[in-house]
Amino acid sequence: MIRLAILGAFLLCAGNSPADDGIAPLETFTPEQRSHWAYRLVARPDPPTVKLRAWTRNPIDRFILAATEELSLRHASEADRITLIRRVTYDLTGLPPSPDEVFAFLSDPRANAYECLVDRLLASPRYGERWTQHWLDLAHYADSNGFELDGDRPDAWRYRDWVVKALNDDMPYDRFVTLQIAGEEAEAGSIDALIATGFGRCGPREVVGGNVDPAANRQSELTEITSTVGSVFLGLTMGCARCHDHKFDALPTTDYYRLQSFFASSDLVDRPIATKAEEESYNAAVKLINEKVAPLRARMSALEAPYRKALREKKQAMLTAAERTVLAIPDKERTPAQKKLAEGTNKALNVTWEEVAAAVRENPADHAAREYLKREVYELERTKPQTPAKAMALIESRPKAAETFVLRRGDVKARGPKVAPRPPGVLLVSQKPDAFSEPVKPPGPSSGRRLALARWMTRPDNPLTSRVIVNRLWMHHFGRGLVASTSDFGVRGESPTHPELLDWLASEFVAGGWRLKPIHRLMVTSATYRQSSRVPAESSKKAREDDPENSYLWRMNRRRMDAEGLRDAMLFVAGDLNPKSGGPGVLVPIEKEVKDLIFTEAEVVDLWPETADPAEHRRRSLYLFRKRNVRYPMFDAFDAPDTQISCPQRGASIHALQPLVTLNSRFALDRAESLVGRVHKDPAWSEEARIAYAYQCVLDRDPIAKERSSAREFLDSQSKFLREKAAEENRPLPRTGSAPLNLDPARMAAWVDLALALLNRNEFLYVP
């Protein structure tokens, strides 16, 4: 009985495994499975009738108001203009407004001043940078492969820049999706389309040698692509059906591999896109550098030779008789057992660079000479130009499409029946019979499979694609999606709080040509978005009891800046932000503790060669080099994703490490000093004017009377304390680089402390 119970449990875990031969039969689905709200076609409901019609500004508000009226919840009042410009500027551009922009908005008498502000922000190039960061979270983009070696991807940034341009140009989302899935099939010969397929290359990839099973490695790549495409574009947890039928959703294992078969013939390649002249220029420059390096390497090799010889002889002296005997036998004459022993013995005799370095270090003169040669080689190789341009792409280059088989329990060695490319069957049930057609082979060496998938995804009657993306936009603007589980629209995901609104937005999106900016505009110009985040006093108790999470949006949600937004905002208000766009990722200075933890090679070669130009270090966070195994402390503290898996929504934790970063890090101190330099730029200003301007830069408002007096008192007491402490310790106060020459060092240091306090105010850290 126990054995039967175990067998039954195994079969339950394995799901309804298909037959082990032939072609997998098509599944049928129960009415209950087909009836799940996300699998049904998008309907376009009429906005409901509401009592307080005067409050509404567009149809979104009628859907929201109908729900709050049904619950007898009173909505919040409209936020003031300073709150609105701070909120919408950060939402659309990821940056705070400048004091001049705030003044212009507050002074604008037009009835549509807010709408004009929104239009200006949507037209800003900063919009594409902000929303690219959200998209890269989904794609789990990074500039390195991850895993143990974590090799760099020198051309990954081209995909990031493609996304920025596509969003700024308001590329229709159906084309945006198509190019990322099947760019070279949809627009053959287009370099931009080729770069767009980098979406399938964004995730981590184990690039190793040795005895790795190529089939298993290939299957790992396909698993990564299939799961990401399913979750990002369709909001389905397809990865849960890789080893067995999905436990909750109508996604059998066969459908997982049918989706995977769209990518079965695709290769992950770095396709050259440089011109012939660029290639020739690069080769000539590298040849010249290599000619200079060669004699240095020869001298280093000669210096190391006696040490290598001594180390090998020492290892040889430790060999057993059996090991010596087997090495004396010619390789062709060895038995399998002898070959295995010889292989292990040769590995043991291998002299590593670490052993050589340790041996040379025992001789100070040779060690100094070796370090000098290494430094010379390193400095020469640093001057090599950037490698010729390549596109990290996902393409097909095979004349015949590869076959796909169901893998029992996801094991590449346990093949089941064959499957053909097809979208998940439960979604096709609700569509027209011809919703998905067999791939039509496009020109060139491609099966057309991915293009067929993209065309099905972007059909107007696809039940998921439009719902998923408008829900993502809603989540970023309101703090929570209409479907809270933004990448899981399955039966165990969250149900939509406003299903009719979700469908109305999805249908409006498709009817408007799949353009994202008009949907942004609808959302941020709604009365719902313009609400204050404060709880209405007259309905506080009832609202908190009936809807404690504010799911029905009777007020606006207050949100903390994300990690990149906080860093960019600190640079911006300090006057330090470099607005340069695009290009390779910037390697900024990192803490010694981080470098020592990650990089164990304590040699001359710098494994984190900082970008030489300090101005580059002050660029937007989007353009920082993202190495998967190197975590920036500020990003880590403020919940930036680790890029290992797709991140649909970031957390927002609060813990003690955060103020340690924003109060004590070199980055925070530099920003505080720059802010002090900014408020002292005009020597004619009074200290009262400087205090006011500091508040305007950081908080976009004037200080109230109590804040003014507190700031004056702090500056007086802190400068006195610092002056007395310096005198007691008999040391001069250091003068910061941004200090005006006529400012007392103690007063300057007090100003830096005041600036640092402003940058740590909740009012700055949180979007109202």
Q: Which two tokens stand for residue 200?
A: 């399938």
Return the bridge partners of 405, or none.
418
At residue 578, the pLDDT reads 98
Q: Are strands 266-272 and 390-396 parallel, antiparallel or unpaired?
A: antiparallel
Token pair 């900014």 is found at 678
- Distance from C-alpha of 595 to C-alpha of 583, rounded to nearest angstrom: 24
How far is residue 204's CA from residue 643's CA, in Å, rounded to a whole number?
Answer: 8
Tokens of 85: 């410009």
Other Cβ atoms within 10 Å of 382 Cβ, number: 12
pLDDT of residue 365: 94
Give the number of C-alpha atoms closer than 13 A to the C-alpha of residue 506, restricted to the C-beta side: 29
Strand partners, 638: none
Question: Helices 657-664 and 666-679: crossing angle, nearest 10°?
Answer: 50
> How far apart, in Å, are the Cα atoms of 281 and each of 24, 276, 743?
54, 9, 52
Predicted pLDDT of residue 5: 39
Q: State residue 584 phi and psi, 5-degree precision.
A: -60, 155
Half-sphere exposure of residue 287: CA atoms within 13 angstroms, side-chain side: 6
pLDDT tens digits for 52-85? Answer: 999 999 999 999 999 999 988 889 999 999 999 9
Reported for 749-752, long-range contacts at CB under 8 A and 24+ positions apart, including other chains, are 749/718, 749/719, 749/722, 750/714, 750/715, 750/718, 750/719, 750/722, 751/676, 751/679, 751/680, 751/715, 752/669, 752/672, 752/673, 752/676
Find the distance separating the first CA and the last CA of the chain, reported in whole Å. Answer: 63
| Residue 566 structure tokens | 């906080």
pLDDT by residue (tens digit) across 718-740?
999 999 898 888 888 776 656 55
- Write out the two tokens for 373: 């040669």
pTM of the model: 0.90
Q: 740: which 2 tokens?
A: 């005006």
Q: Shortest CA distance to 223 belongs to which of 240, 207, 235, 211?
A: 240
What pLDDT does residue 25 have? Answer: 86
The amino acid sitting at 525 is T
Paired with 531 in beta bridges are 78
Which bin fits 451, alpha (ψ -120 to 50), beta or left (φ > 0)? alpha
Q: Centre a 10 Å sphere on the Cβ of residue 627 and count the other Cβ atoms it contains.
A: 24
Give the contacts of 111 (CB within 8 A, at least 6 positions apart). none
Q: Residue 595: its pLDDT value, please?
A: 76
DSSP 269-282: EEEE---HHHHHHH
pLDDT of residue 553: 95
Per-state percent for the chain, helix, strand, coil, to nearest 5: 55, 5, 40
Structure tokens at 372: 């000098």
In sequence order, the 6+-apart residues with CB closer than 8 A to the CB of 409 are: 14, 243, 244
Phi-psi region of 534 (alpha: psi -120 to 50; beta: other; left: phi over 0): beta
Q: Taking phi first (over 0 means left), then psi (-120 to 50 degrees means alpha), and beta for anything else, what does residue 514 get?
A: left
Which pairs count as long-range contacts for 180-183, CB under 8 Å and 24+ apart, including other chains? 181/229, 181/233, 181/450, 181/451, 181/453, 181/454, 181/457, 182/450, 182/451, 182/453, 182/454, 183/393
What's the pLDDT score for residue 1?
Answer: 38
Low-confidence ranges of the chain (pLDDT < 50): 1-19, 602
**Rounded to whole angstroms, how far apart are CA atoms 382 and 19?**
58
